[in-house]
Chains A and B, each alone.
Chain A
Amino acid sequence: MQQTNTFDAIVIGSGMSGGWAAKEFCDKGFKTLLLERGRDVKHLKDYPTTNMMPWEFKHRGEVPYEIKKDNPIVSKCYAFQEDAMHFFVKDTEHPYVQDKPFDWIRGYQVGGKSIMWARQTQRWSDYDFQGPARDGFAVDWPIRYKDIDPWYSYVEKFVGISGNKDGIDTLPDGEFLPAWGLSCIEDHFKSAVESNYKDRYVVYARCAHLSEPQPIHLEQGRGQCQSRNLCQRGCPFGGYFNSNSSTVPWALKTGNLTLRPFSVVHSIIYDEAKGKATGVRIIDTNTKEAVEYFAPVIFVNAGAVNTNLILLNSQSGRFPNGLGNDNGLLGKYFAFHNYRGHISAQYDGMSDKNSTGGRPTSAYIPRFRNVKKQETDFLRGYAATFWGGRWGGPNTDGYGEELKAKLMSKEEKLGPWFIGSQFMGETIPKESNFLALDKDKKDDWGIPLIKFNVDYDDNDEKMVKDFFEQYTEMFTKAGFTNIKTDDSKQAPGLDIHEMRGVRMGNDPKTSLLNKWNQMHNVPNVFVSDGACMTSTSTQNPSLTYMAITARAANHAIDLLKKGELK
């Protein structure tokens, strides 16, 4: 029995980072078990809404009232609409405990949230990796940009990133496919910002879309992005990156991958005599049967929160408080991105110009606050997206033939430009923001529920205020009017950038993972999803998770080859 349950590597989670770990092991010839708690979602076959036209949706995209009422948390997510709601976990299916409100948005299926992600892929720079050391929070990152740079390139080539080389030190360039380009309102804002500020930039937001597929993408069975902007349904062209169209089928094709959906990981098995982890204990969600699998190396990529949960629940005589948790820091210093700030405006200029057609991205303003030195009364800063467009819909006053004639008219009367910017603030990890196991409540598989104690702090409040002030000034300099700021006050979590709890660091006393993402105390267990992050910076994090995972997996492979992981 044990024979068939033994692999060279086990990867927990098939989302953004787990898919990469599985691909790397399989590519290098290692028999790999990829565990996924949810159902399988096969590329193309399991995208039921992907080609549905507007009139084919019974509610034209709207989520029915009963579903919203029963699932208030996931209903807050912008992508939880009739066309993609089947890819989201309903609140009622998998409850969790909120000592403080946390909007935990989940996708339990092969591919995880990589099916519905926002596909923004900006690199970190050394200003980000050096942040904690310079500003005295968290712990120093054990890696620097030079360590991750080649791995960014490695994953970018495979994923396919549309981008411009901008030559900005805060936002390093990568391996780019052609850009769709900036729209005229974005270009206008770029000129206004860059002529008024010496260190502020507006660039084309890099995104994981195949603007010009290369042989490596065609080999994956993926093709040209058609700019449908319906990515949350799964793409019939494989035009954007998700695990389902890319890393998972690639790994399966090697013949080395065993994909096991419906497998909730209960815990990692620690063998005290051997002084290492030997495998994982799962519950089959269909049969409720517990099964054990074994391998010399285990990658935990369950998604930041569930990675913390699995480790906290992996208790043994040696590690009574969770795997590798001698310093008691597991689950602590949990963090996220501050997404509360949004600003909108109108522009009456350029009334003889418009942008048309489809494009899967927008513009991006890299962080400019506190980059080279501390200059405000809050730490760190924020990046933001920027978009603008003109509404050409008909006037719908009146009724009868008068109204119908307006609806039937081929002529569009364009309104002014409408402009919006969404900010993404770095949050400072702190001990009082933590995840823990609930002492009493358990899920359907007998695993304790995870409990959230995560909140904003004064630094976050100041940052929202500064964003509004700075962007109001920048918008004003660009000639925008009717500027409106909106602090959504949304709970942490809705950013869907939950991170940390199992941080990397140089010192086992103050961190849980080393510079290769190995647990200091259990070196054959690697954590390389959002849980591993030492700080959060201001970029959409998936690209960094993928690069860190590819790097960690290849280190594990080196160790396996040298016989250092048995």
Chain B
Amino acid sequence: MKRREAIRNVVLVSAGAAFLYSCKEKAASITLKNIPITGAEEDLLSDLTETIIPKTDFLGAKDLKTGEFILTMVDDCVGPEEQQKFIAGLKAFDKAGFIKMSPEEKKEFIDKLDGDVKLFYEMVKQGTILNFTTSKEYLEKVKNVTTLIPPKFQPCISVNA
């Protein structure tokens, strides 16, 4: 897991879309220091993460509060320029009405992404995978990791080539 790369791969939607914050809108569920996100945008982000890792017979991205995790990471761990690009990318998804699209429309929309909006999507995807693969539920139930102690060192085992 290349955390740094996940963060660095960020982004980068052209800062074209102006951001207008309206305090009448539903507020985000978590307090953010640097990125003004509305509740609606948070819902959109959660929807996108769930599109990336949907609920099946095992938890999906929403169950793991992935939107909140990504917002925390973007708020705390990337610089202001990248944060602006993140917001712009989110706006572009919003403008396209992503949350109301059918699964087929979403697929078509994602498959056609390019440029900075695609990079924004990749950033959300990396964050979604990171949150999923480092979650308690995934590590314990899928990877059988219940302790920080790794299995015994085996210098040379046979595996399928």
Instruction: Determine the residue in chain A with the shortest Cβ distance to B127.
Output: A60
Asked whether, in the complex, the Cβ of A181 is within 8 Å of the Cβ of B150, the reply is no
Report the Cα distance A351→B160, complex, angstroms. Answer: 8
> What band does the interface of chain B fall in when counting residues whose beta carbon is under 8 Å from A?
35 or more
Chain A residues closer than 8 Å to B72, beta-carbon distance = 58-59
CB distance from A154 to the nearest CB of B (A): 29
Asked whether, in the complex, the Cβ of B134 is within 8 Å of the Cβ of A404, the reply is no
Is A167 located at the chain interface by the 8 A CB criterion?
no
Report the Cα distance A499→B142, complex, angstroms. Answer: 48
Is A403 located at the chain interface by the 8 A CB criterion?
yes
| Total number of A residues with any Cβ neighbor in B under 8 Å | 45
Asked whether, in the complex, the Cβ of A353 is within 8 Å of the Cβ of B157, the reply is yes
**Contact A180:B136 (CB < 8 A) given known A400-B52, A400-B54, A401-B56:** no
Digitize A218-253: 1 where CB-to-B-CB distance is under 8 Å, 0 elsewhere: 000000001111100000000000000000000000
- Which of A53, A61, A356, A414 contacts B151 (CB under 8 A)? A356
Asked whether, in the complex, the Cβ of B149 is within 8 Å of the Cβ of A357, the reply is no
Is A407 located at the chain interface by the 8 A CB criterion?
yes
Is A507 located at the chain interface by the 8 A CB criterion?
no
Asked whether, in the complex, the Cβ of B155 is within 8 Å of the Cβ of A404, the reply is no
Question: 3 closest Cβ contacts across the A-B interface?
Answer: A358-B150, A184-B156, A357-B153
Asked whether, in the complex, the Cβ of B150 is within 8 Å of the Cβ of A403, the reply is no
Which residues 346-372 of A sit at the B interface, judged by CB distance below 8 A?
Answer: 351-359
Report the Cα distance A182→B152, complex, angstroms. Answer: 14
Digitize B48-73: 1 where CB-to-A-CB distance is under 8 Å, 0 elsewhere: 00011110101010000000000011
Is B102 located at the chain interface by the 8 A CB criterion?
no
Asked whether, in the complex, the Cβ of A357 is within 8 Å of the Cβ of B150, the reply is yes
Asked whether, in the complex, the Cβ of B151 is within 8 Å of the Cβ of A60, the reply is no
Is B22 located at the chain interface by the 8 A CB criterion?
no
Asked whether, in the complex, the Cβ of A353 is within 8 Å of the Cβ of B150, the reply is no
Give the interface of B toward A (CB within 8 A): 1, 3-4, 7, 51-54, 56, 58, 60, 72-73, 76-79, 107, 110, 125, 129-136, 138-139, 142, 148-161
Give the interface of A toward B (CB within 8 A): 51, 53-55, 58-66, 69, 180-184, 187, 226-230, 351-359, 393, 396, 399-401, 403-404, 407-408, 410, 414
Chain B residues closer than 8 Å to A410, beta-carbon distance = 142
Instruction: Determine the residue in chain B with the shortest Cβ distance to A184.
Output: B156
CB distance from B58 to the nearest CB of A (A): 6
Chain A residues closer than 8 Å to B130, beta-carbon distance = 60
CB distance from B91 to the nearest CB of A (A): 21
Report the Cα distance A332→B46, complex, angstroms. Answer: 59
Asked whether, in the complex, the Cβ of A358 is within 8 Å of the Cβ of B125, the reply is no
Report the Cα distance A276→B151, complex, angstroms. Answer: 57
Asked whether, in the complex, the Cβ of A53 is within 8 Å of the Cβ of B156, the reply is no
Chain B residues closer than 8 Å to A359, beta-carbon distance = 153
Report the Cα distance A55→B154, complex, angstroms. Answer: 27
Chain A residues closer than 8 Å to B7, beta-carbon distance = 62
CB distance from B11 to the nearest CB of A (A): 14
Asked whether, in the complex, the Cβ of B139 is within 8 Å of the Cβ of A358, the reply is no
Asked whether, in the complex, the Cβ of A55 is within 8 Å of the Cβ of B134, the reply is yes
Instruction: Determine the residue in chain B with the shortest Cβ distance to A226.
Output: B149
Report the Cα distance A48→B70, complex, angstroms. Answer: 25
Instruction: Determine the residue in chain A with the shortest Cβ distance to B126.
Output: A396
Asked whether, in the complex, the Cβ of B51 is within 8 Å of the Cβ of A352, the reply is no
Chain B residues closer than 8 Å to A229, beta-carbon distance = 150
